[in-house]
Amino acid sequence: MSIDDKVRSIVKEFKAYVPGKSKEEIARNYGIDPERIIKLGSNENPWGCSPKIEEKLINEVSNLHQYPQPINPELMDEISKFTKIPVENIIVGGDGADEVIDNIMRILIDEGDEVIIPIPTFTQYAISAKIHGANIKWAKFDEENGFKLDVESVLNNITEKTKAIFLCTPNNPTGNVIPTEDIKKIVESTDALVMIDHAYIEYSKEEYDLTSWALKYDNVLILRTFSKVFGLAGQRVGYGVTSKKVVDYMMRIKPIFSLTRASQVSAITALLDKEFFEKCLKEGIESREEIYNGLKKFKQLEVYPTEANYMLVKVKNGMNSSEFCEALLKKGVIVRDCYSFEGLEPYYFRVSIGTSEENERFLKIMSEIVE
């Protein structure tokens, strides 16, 4: 009997996750100087992380032979101050928000339970739900209506078997927020856990931040991350904000030491360096407007409004998204081909914010390809 006969059938159905391409991969495949490559495909902070983190990490090296604290009180306290949420309502994950997603599926899902996911959206929701035995009920962000959430497509899928509903706002990859009244309608229509993914909420207007709802509703869990504006995508720190009861259940099955000493120190320092945070946020929003206004000038593209640090673009010059993204790669520009997102036609790509210099070069290269 081979390993193929032992692997679960559900695993065999999965396609491998398609991450954004790295500079090293493009340099190797196309013979391009890595210093000339513009990476705008993974929704990262182009200004990096707080410069104060380097010194803190160096000081932490002598402690790396010791296990980290399962719950770091300083980190919990700083997250609490940042979110204005009590420590007892916060759970931190060591693989970004992905760990929180996976852990909530582990405590909720029995074989045959249902999870509602509007598409197109972040692909990890479906992967985690399916591997734990859930049946996926697909709702939709309406393409013909600017990818506005079709609320009825969510409500009509709610049954007694519904255990969780995922709502990404701002949504990845479309960049738009879900109106608060629509989320309220969903939350109050069910006792299923509504997962509101706020990975990019810092880039949005304050009125769209629903983190406080975790204290208002027992069936709400807010997902947050350090991977975006804090510039710590490489340290994999995410957290959930929810009821104390849900936190208690998740702590029973959470990997105890998933958050490393290095990631804890990095996250604490990032939260304390408020000046760098505000700088990145301000320049990130300016960069977003710069790219958006630049792309809007091309008649062969349709650019969607966004409240995140990226935007969705539809190609209308006769090329599909893979052909278009390949042309960009040959010129040293990495964007995200969205062909792998369920619910999108093969004409979309996603572009992240860059520095002013990167944006200028990107738009110049875009003009060469589009026209």
What share of the chain in percent tops pLDDT 70?
A: 98
Same domain, 317 and 262: no
Give residues with Cβ within 8 angstroms of 38, minimum separation 6: 332, 333, 334, 354, 358, 361, 362
Domain edge (last residue) among 273, 308, 332: 273
Same domain, 260 and 323: no
Same domain, 31 and 77: no
Q: What is the CATH number of the domain that holds 18?
A: 3.90.1150.10
Same domain, 226 and 315: no
Same domain, 313 and 362: yes
Same domain, 9 and 20: yes
Same domain, 175 and 289: no
Domain containing 208 equals: 52-273
Same domain, 150 and 172: yes
- Name the phi and psi angles at 74, rounded to 5: -70, -45
Same domain, 173 and 288: no
CA dist 125 and 139 (Å) reads 13
Residue 18's pLDDT is 64
* 67 pLDDT tier (thresholds 50, 70, 90): very high
CB 356 within 8 A of CB 56: no
- What HEC string does 308-344 produce? CCEEEEEECCCCCHHHHHHHHHHCCEECEEHHHCCCC
Domain edge (last residue) among 235, 255, 273: 273
CA dist 127 and 131 (Å) reads 6
Same domain, 62 and 202: yes
Same domain, 107 and 232: yes
Q: Which of 127, 138, 134, 136 is nearest to 11 (CA)?
A: 127
Q: What is the CATH number of the domain that holds 100?
A: 3.40.640.10
Total count of domains within the chain: 2
Could you read off the pLDDT of 88-124 as tens digits, one per residue? Answer: 999 999 888 999 999 999 999 999 999 999 999 999 9
Could you read off the pLDDT of 304-356 as tens digits, one per residue? Answer: 999 999 999 999 989 999 999 999 999 999 999 999 899 999 999 999 999 99
Same domain, 132 and 249: yes
